[in-house]
Amino acid sequence: MGIQLYLYLSAILFMIGVVGVIARRNAIIVFMSIELMLNSVNLTLVAFSAFLGDVTGQMLVFFVMTVAAAEAAIGLAIIISLFRNKQTVNLDEINILKW
């Protein structure tokens, strides 16, 4: 199996993530879509890494996973603090400042 199939699959996953960020209005689901984008990148990196026979790509995947975990911690904390003040995580209702 060539590398193309992996690249197509990760490109499709990435696009699903992008559409999710743009179309969905729940902050948590938007965040999940962003995670999908990051994981599709991981798939690309691993595919390239295997294709090139070079370990850098796999190493980068570990960094991406670590950073994604840190980002999830911060992001959920921010969303919770918003929920405490507003009782909503719907992005359409977050409108004190103009979006």
Partner 1 sequence: MEITISDLWQSAPMVSLTLTGLVALLVESMKGGRTTAVYGLSLAGCALAFVFSLWSLGSEVIVFNGMILQGGYASYFSMVFTSSAFFTIVLSRPYMQRLHREQGVLYILILFATVGMMLMASAMDLIILFLGIELMSVCLYVLTGFVRTKVTSNESAVKYFLLGAFATGFLLYGIALVYGTAGTTNLKLISQSFAQLSGNSLFLMGAGLLVIAFSFKVAAVPFHMWAPDVYEGAPTPVTAFMSTGAKAAAFAAFVTVFIRTFAITGTPISEVVAFIAAASMILGNVTAIAQSNLKRMLAYSSIAHAGYMLSGIAAGSAEGETGILFYLAAYTLMNMGAFGIISWVEQQDDTKLTFDDYAGFSAQRPVVAAMLSVFMFSLAGIPPFAGFFGKYYVFLAAVKADLVWLAVIGVLTSVISVYYYLRLVMVMYFRDGNATIEERVPGFAFAVIGVIAALVILLGLYPSLVVDISKTFFKL
If one asks whether residue 13 binds partner 1 (CB under 8 A), the answer comes out as: no
Please tell me the distance from the alpha carbon of residue 40 to that of residue 46, in angstroms, as a whole number.
Answer: 10
10 Å CB burial of residue 77 (0-12, 13-18, 19+) is exposed
Quick one: tokens of 37? 């984008």
| Three-state DSSP state, 55 | coil
* Residue of 8, 65, 78, 90 interacting with partner 1 (CB under 8 A): 78
Instruction: Give the residues lining the site for partner 1 (CB under 8 A).
Output: 14, 17-18, 21, 27, 30-31, 34, 37-38, 40-41, 44-45, 47-48, 51-52, 54, 56-57, 59-60, 63-64, 67, 70-71, 74-75, 78-79, 81-82, 85-86, 91, 94, 96-99
